[in-house]
Amino acid sequence: MTAEDQIQDTVTSNDVVLYMKGTKSMPQCGFSSRVAGVLNFMGVEYTDVNVLADDAIRQGIKDYSEWPTIPQLYVKGEFVGGCDIITEMTLSGELDQMLADKGISFDKAAAEKIREANA
């Protein structure tokens, strides 16, 4: 199985996937930590893929999405964005709306707390 096949399988067989440096319980970079922290705080169930564990996946995810940076968030097979985009979407409420529209459960009160803390 090629890296692209593996990525395709992962993003289509899991509702929410975060390609990141490190793991959701031990992020290895600040940007990955921020996105994982948002998802963890909001109670979103997601699959984490540590790109540091596999160079083919690390490069493959950049080629797959045509996006040059990591982390990368996928919801229902669709590329959503990296750290800056996820941060903006969280603060604007767009992330809540997208998750709700796609049937992904999350803690709405936690999302509100993030916005209050950053107002």
Angstrom distance (rounded) from CA 5 to CA 22: 21
83 belongs to an annotated ligand binding site: no
CB-based contacts of 83: which residues, under 8 Å, 6+ apart? 31, 32, 34, 35, 69, 71
The binding site for [2Fe-2S] cluster comprises 29
**Could you tell me which residues are annotated as the binding site?**
29
